[in-house]
Chain A
Amino acid sequence: MREISYSEAIREAMSEEMRRDTAVFLVGEDVAVFGGVWGVSDGMLAEFGDERVRDTPISEAAIIGAGLGAALVGMRPIVEIMFGDFLMCGGDQIVNQAAKARFMSGGKANVPLTLRVTSGAPGSAAAQHSQSPESWFMNVPGIKIAAPSTPADAKGLLKTAVRGADPVLFFEHKMLYGETGPVPEDADFTVPFGQANVVRQGRDVTVIAVSIMVPKALAAADLLAAEGISVEVIDPRTLVPLDKETLIHSVAKTSRVIIAHEAHRRSGPGAEIAAMLAEEAVEYLDGPIIRVGAKNVPLPYSPVLENFVLPGVDDIVAAARLLASK
């Protein structure tokens, strides 16, 4: 299969959906003329024109509100948020309007709105441009949350989001944009929500890894294999809905769990997953559930400090050694 980058896979998904359905359009800061500050929509203005690829003022409330309004009247907008850190500027649009519209209207309105949001630390972008805000919205029913870790999942999940009837927060880790991988060319290739991917099979420890932590967990698994610790790596792919069955099945096999995400440990996605496992799979556990995540401080600018705060391969290795008593 041909290999393309995560960034190209997202562009391909958007372009295919826009060719397939005229209700789909892209809107966001610098997505048109500039091709997106991350280059994701490069060339799309030329193909689809400025009606369907639209630049906006720098106001998340306005951008998300525009997408919400368009979705309510039957469009399928893709909204790009340049930095997920500023989602809270459009917080009411997301939490009280997009997530609630179907329920407050008694089922008369749907919000097929895809919010493409960058997340994660790109290196020395400091505290306001480096966050991983996935779990901020896990507490809000009515929104689906995807966090793909590979180019193929990015394409397949994005197409599912665009074709679906619900608002979706689609988190793209900035450090994954350049990563390449095999991606199907089939224009109808999709990846369903709520279906975790067992990326690597193992016996001793389950690492549930979110987004950028998937490649890190795989690197850790290689190191640990040399020590005789067999690691199973699972990518939930969507945090809402969460594929509990696959996670519990793995925990029943290994009895040991690490949950790795770049978000801060406190109340990050791992908190919900750990609580779910404690409720539904406690009898299988042969040790504490360990969360690997960013330390609970705002992300520093200094590369030395930033590396200290962010979770890495070595953190997963250390946690696995602790659980496997080696």
Chain B
Amino acid sequence: MSNENRYEVVMPKLGLIMTEARLMEWHKPDGAWVVKGEPLFSLESDKSEIEIEASVNGRLQILIPAGETVPVMTPVAHLLAEKVAQGAAQSTAQNEVRATPKARAAARQQGIDLAALSGSGPRGMIVAADLPDADMPKAAPQPTIQATPVARKMAAELGLDLAKVTGTGENGRITRDDVTRTAAARLAQPQAVPPAPALPLTGLRGVIAERLSAGWRERPQVTLTAEVDATNLVSARQQLAAELGRKLSYNAFFMAAAARALHEQPHVNVRLTAEGIAQLAEIHVGLAVDTDRGLLVPVVRQADSKSIPALDEEISALAQRALDGQLLPDELTGGTFTITNLGAFGIDAFTPIVNPPETAVLGIGRISPRPVVVGRQVEVRDMVVLSLSFDHRLLDGGPAARFLQRVGQLVERPFALVQINN
């Protein structure tokens, strides 16, 4: 482990005659992530108790346990920098984004993650022209807040919303002093402030909020559910996995079934435009992926013309890139239908929300063995509940039910999915 990634915390020498001190208490457990400025430990010297703050961010590695007395300048702990500590890769990656001030401001306003873009400017930096204009979903524009870089950094570290800071610098720019003053005032307030700062509704979270509430306001949405027998699907997946020598995701099968049903029943593969209901020629199916940053829906193009192993490979690659925050804007747009699978969380059935501007979304619950009446006998079968939410303006209940029924049939007869549409 190199020293540049390790910050050494020492017993400070706080007075001319101070030679040693007792480490009274660690305020953070060993291995905890410590943010610069947080209380780290307390020491007792000359009968006074003093609290020491962390000077840098890092993962705490305690060298001297509480209760011991050590000479001043003795190393008492290490703070391991982000590159060494786990779980902090994201903030390192953010620091590596090279962008112009104008591009940064525009991205902030539009809620765009610069890390997802590549730069065409000098030294590879992201310039304003690299930002997507119309294609990217935009959060409601925020007023431009003028702040010095150090004030921005401090505010980010303190979790302070710059919009709540009054700038006293040149042209009302927010300075380091303004942030310090506001932070101090916030600390001075009694318990009125909730202990955890609210996450600002910006960035990806803002985009999701904006799009879903727009979808909810505009669309009269109805959900149909059907419990179908997935016993054959479970078996088909096991057989195909054995044949290919690798694991396969159920989502590849459900996507194949949805794509086939969309191919057969194009009235679901439509979109409402200013001119009216547009029939979409191609079938692009999105898959909802839960990431640390929020919900992302990468899209598989022409899903109806791809085999199950091909769909599986593509889904797996897209999901991984979604988790890594590396999806390109093109991979997140243009879907005509979405599937969302909450089975892994033990969810049986739910009412998914239509992903605008699409017409319908298929929710998939968990596959679990349940007693089912087959003929006059009770049998244990692997059952799954499918939930279809749809925009009732574009689709009546009957056609929607026929679509869900067809998806259910394809789940029950997965052999039919061997055939691929062209």
State yes or no: do A and B come from one complex: yes
On A, residues with C-beta under 8 Å from B are 255, 280, 282-288, 322-323, 325
Query: In the complex, are the beta carbons of B146 and A255 less than 8 A apart?
Result: no
- Within B122-162, the residues touching A (CB, 8 Å) are 122-123, 125, 127-129, 144, 146
Query: In the complex, are the beta carbons of A285 and B102 less than 8 A apart?
Result: yes
On B, residues with C-beta under 8 Å from A are 100-103, 105, 120-123, 125, 127-129, 144, 146, 170
Query: In the complex, are the beta carbons of A255 and B105 less than 8 A apart?
Result: no
A255-B128, A325-B127, A325-B129 known; A286-B122 Cβ under 8 A = no
Query: In the complex, are the beta carbons of A287 and B100 less than 8 A apart?
Result: yes
* Pairs across A and B, CB under 8 Å, 20 listed: A255-B102, A282-B101, A284-B101, A284-B102, A285-B100, A285-B101, A286-B100, A286-B101, A286-B103, A286-B121, A286-B127, A286-B129, A287-B100, A287-B122, A287-B127, A288-B122, A323-B121, A323-B122, A325-B121, A325-B127
Q: Which 4 pairs between the two chains have the least Cβ-Cβ distance? A: A286-B102, A286-B100, A325-B120, A286-B128
Chain A hits for B128, CB < 8 A: 255, 286
Chain B hits for A283, CB < 8 A: 101-102, 105, 144, 146
Chain B hits for A287, CB < 8 A: 100, 121-122, 125, 127
A283 to B125 CA separation, bound complex (whole angstroms): 16
Min C-beta distance of B279 to chain A, whole Å:
39
Chain B hits for A285, CB < 8 A: 100-102
Chain B hits for A322, CB < 8 A: 122
A282 to B129 CA separation, bound complex (whole angstroms): 17
Chain B hits for A280, CB < 8 A: 170
Min C-beta distance of A288 to chain B, whole Å:
6
A285 to B121 CA separation, bound complex (whole angstroms): 12
A257 to B146 CA separation, bound complex (whole angstroms): 21
Chain A hits for B101, CB < 8 A: 282-286
Min C-beta distance of A244 to chain B, whole Å:
12
User: Which residue of chain B is the closest to A325 with respect to CB atoms?
Assistant: B120
Min C-beta distance of A279 to chain B, whole Å:
8
Given A287-B121, A325-B121; 15 other pairs, CB 8 A cutoff:
A280-B170, A283-B101, A283-B105, A285-B100, A285-B101, A285-B102, A286-B101, A286-B103, A286-B128, A286-B129, A287-B100, A287-B122, A288-B123, A323-B121, A323-B122
A288 to B103 CA separation, bound complex (whole angstroms): 12
Chain B hits for A325, CB < 8 A: 120-121, 127, 129
User: Which residue of chain B is the closest to A285 with respect to CB atoms?
Assistant: B101
User: Which residue of chain A is the closest to B122 with respect to CB atoms?
Assistant: A322
Min C-beta distance of A304 to chain B, whole Å:
29
Chain B hits for A288, CB < 8 A: 122-123, 125
A284 to B106 CA separation, bound complex (whole angstroms): 10
A322 to B129 CA separation, bound complex (whole angstroms): 13
Chain A hits for B125, CB < 8 A: 287-288
Min C-beta distance of B319 to chain A, whole Å:
33
User: Which residue of chain B is the closest to A319 with respect to CB atoms?
Assistant: B122
Chain A hits for B103, CB < 8 A: 286
A283 to B173 CA separation, bound complex (whole angstroms): 11
Chain A hits for B120, CB < 8 A: 325
Min C-beta distance of A154 to chain B, whole Å:
35
Chain A hits for B105, CB < 8 A: 283
A287 to B129 CA separation, bound complex (whole angstroms): 11
Most B Cβ at <10 Å: residue of A255, A282, A284, A287: A287
A287 to B102 CA separation, bound complex (whole angstroms): 8
A283 to B105 CA separation, bound complex (whole angstroms): 8
Min C-beta distance of A99 to chain B, whole Å:
27
Most B Cβ at <10 Å: residue of A283, A284, A286, A325: A286
Min C-beta distance of A111 to chain B, whole Å:
32
Min C-beta distance of B310 to chain A, whole Å:
37
A322 to B119 CA separation, bound complex (whole angstroms): 13
Chain A hits for B146, CB < 8 A: 283
A286 to B103 CA separation, bound complex (whole angstroms): 6
A283 to B103 CA separation, bound complex (whole angstroms): 9
Min C-beta distance of A281 to chain B, whole Å:
9
A286 to B104 CA separation, bound complex (whole angstroms): 9
Chain B hits for A284, CB < 8 A: 101-102
Chain B hits for A323, CB < 8 A: 121-122
User: Which residue of chain B is the closest to A326 with respect to CB atoms?
Assistant: B120
A299 to B15 CA separation, bound complex (whole angstroms): 58
A285 to B149 CA separation, bound complex (whole angstroms): 14
User: Which residue of chain A is the closest to B100 with respect to CB atoms?
Assistant: A286
Min C-beta distance of A204 to chain B, whole Å:
11
Min C-beta distance of B150 to chain A, whole Å:
13
A150 to B62 CA separation, bound complex (whole angstroms): 71
A287 to B127 CA separation, bound complex (whole angstroms): 7
A69 to B170 CA separation, bound complex (whole angstroms): 42
Min C-beta distance of B125 to chain A, whole Å:
7
User: Which residue of chain A is the closest to B128 with respect to CB atoms?
Assistant: A286
A285 to B105 CA separation, bound complex (whole angstroms): 10
A293 to B103 CA separation, bound complex (whole angstroms): 27
A322 to B124 CA separation, bound complex (whole angstroms): 11
Chain B hits for A282, CB < 8 A: 101
A21 to B121 CA separation, bound complex (whole angstroms): 56
Chain A hits for B102, CB < 8 A: 255, 283-286
Chain A hits for B129, CB < 8 A: 286, 325
Min C-beta distance of B343 to chain A, whole Å:
47
User: Which residue of chain B is the closest to A323 with respect to CB atoms?
Assistant: B122
User: Which residue of chain A is the closest to B171 with respect to CB atoms?
Assistant: A280
A323 to B129 CA separation, bound complex (whole angstroms): 11
Chain A hits for B100, CB < 8 A: 255, 285-287
User: Which residue of chain A is the closest to B147 with respect to CB atoms?
Assistant: A283
A92 to B121 CA separation, bound complex (whole angstroms): 46
Min C-beta distance of B204 to chain A, whole Å:
24
Min C-beta distance of B332 to chain A, whole Å:
24
A283 to B127 CA separation, bound complex (whole angstroms): 12
Min C-beta distance of B189 to chain A, whole Å:
32
Chain B hits for A286, CB < 8 A: 100-103, 121, 127-129
User: Which residue of chain B is the closest to A281 with respect to CB atoms?
Assistant: B101
